[in-house]
Amino acid sequence: MIQTTIRHSKRYQEIINVLIKNGLSHLLYRIGLTRQTAVSMEDEDLESNHTLINLGTKLQKSLQELGPTFIKLGQIASTRRDIVPEPIAKELEKLQDDVQCFSYEQVESIFMEAFGLPPNELFVDFAMTPLATASIGQVHKAYLSTGEEVAIKIQRPNIKETMDTDLDILFHIARLIEEKTKWGKTYHILDMIEDFSTSLRNELDYLMEGRNAERIHKQFVDDETVHIPKIHWEYTANKILTMEMIHAIKVNNISRLDAEGYDRKLIAKRIANSLFSQVLDHGFFHGDPHPGNIYIMPENVISYLDFGMVGRLNDQMKYHFASLLIAVQQNSSKQMMEVFEEMELLDHVKNTNALERDIDHLLAKYYDAALSTISLGQLLIDIFSIAYRHQVDIPSDITVLAKAILTVEEVIEQLDPSFNIIGAIESFGIKIMR
């Protein structure tokens, strides 16, 4: 217990020092993490675009320096345009899993702990040098005795202990933000850190990731346009995930896709259809479909990787989501309020008339626009921004869905700028309403 307290104290001070060093002392003072005497207060206009870019740059630099937990936090924050101003989100997008690989001796130790054997006794031609490294783990190539090529994801040593400490500190900081700032209360920052913590801890469980991959694989077992890598369970443990090796092109490598004759319009359509099939047919979907997790195989086949983060929608939530889209299409704030009421999201709303007025203003922005011309990602951002301001309790799985849609919409924009994702969802929504 004493060692844990000392570790937390040292890490807490390290976090504060990094933030102060990178010019964020005035923000630390505002939320009560530092004394005024240690702070250079700046009379800044936080609505200024220049100020927001400057703040985003400082945050990006700080989070990068603080390591894996904070890099993940920043990456997720960059997709939450409903609560994070666009200039800050753009800076946070620059966060990279820029980490060194860990040694083969450490890899061997992790295998011994899991299987009682080193990797070179379990696999043929296990590559000692990793193919790729990230904040949570690294990937090595090897072959099974059958000759099948596999990719083996191995978790970084002591990463769980490091992240547990960081998450405890983040909970403390989130409580202070909620207590001391209007922004923190409005957006329920503590709840967001709770969701982030659950998601991150799930990512550390490779057995759960394997089960997620298998579940989504079953969704597409009869669909030749989508391929989910096979999991080799006999070589998989809590910190080791062995899967089929995928030889493909990263979805945002547009020049290579073009050079090799891939059909970008078809790829865009297949990505959209596969996402909404996961969401609205099955209610279980990839929660982080960024370009690093989507690869294109021969014949324009879509391959998804990395199922550490997933989302779930039950039948009732799928119905409500479709209802929201129809309320927008019919330009009905009353109908949207009825959906919120059915979802029991209005318990903490102090002024429902003001909420309905703000929704009216939002719908006026989309008035007479064909549903196929609307950016679904931007629409969800606008709805959630209003909802948070009025204390509407948006379910966490809906925010995961919004994040996934926004991410995929940006991927599709690169592939086919003429494709609009809301047109692809329309047929799924109609089926649900029926």
Q: Please give the full DSSP string across 302-341, using - where no structure is assigned.
A: EEE---SSEEE--HHHHHHHHHHHHHHHTT-HHHHHHHHH
Task: Tell whether 92 and 33 lie within a shared domain.
Answer: yes
Task: Tell whether 182 and 260 lie within a shared domain.
Answer: no
Task: Tell whether 310 and 184 lie within a shared domain.
Answer: no
C-alpha dihedral, 173 to 179 to 184 to 189, nearest 10° = 50
CA distance 373 to 375: 7
Task: Tell whether 181 and 328 lie within a shared domain.
Answer: no
Task: Tell whether 48 and 196 lie within a shared domain.
Answer: yes
Predicted pLDDT at 247: 95
Those residues whose C-beta lies under 8 Å from the C-beta of residue 71, and which sit 6 or more positions away, are 63, 64, 95, 96, 97, 135
Which tokens is 59 given? 């945050």
Mean pLDDT of 277-302: 94
Task: Tell whether 418 and 342 lie within a shared domain.
Answer: yes
pLDDT single digits (tens) 111-142? 999 999 999 999 999 999 999 888 889 999 99
Catalytic residue among 82, 164, 166, 288: 288
Task: Tell whether 167 and 79 lie within a shared domain.
Answer: yes
* Structural domains counted in the chain: 2
Scored b (16 or more CB within 10 A) or e, 242-251 reads bbebeebbeb
Predicted pLDDT at 40: 45
Those residues whose C-beta lies under 8 Å from the C-beta of residue 11, and which sit 6 or more positions away, are 165, 166, 169
Task: Tell whether 260 and 384 lie within a shared domain.
Answer: yes
Q: Is residue 141 one of the residues assigned to a domain?
A: no
Q: Is 288 a catalytic residue?
A: yes
Task: Tell whether 261 and 190 lie within a shared domain.
Answer: no
pLDDT single digits (tens) 216-251? 999 999 999 999 999 999 999 999 999 999 999 999
Q: Are 388 and 61 in contact (CB under 8 A)?
A: no
Task: Tell whether 396 and 322 lie within a shared domain.
Answer: yes
Predicted pLDDT at 325: 77
Task: Tell whether 277 and 180 lie within a shared domain.
Answer: no
Predicted pLDDT at 4: 55
Q: Is residue 73 one of the residues assigned to a domain?
A: yes
Predicted pLDDT at 50: 66
pLDDT above 70: percentage of residues in the chain? 91
Task: Tell whether 173 and 314 lie within a shared domain.
Answer: no
Find the range with the poorest average confidence among 2-11, 59-68, 105-114: 2-11
Q: Which domain holds residue 76?
A: 2-98+160-202
Give the closest residue to 324 by CA, choosing from 348, 349, 345, 354.
345
Q: Is residue 66 one of the residues assigned to a domain?
A: yes
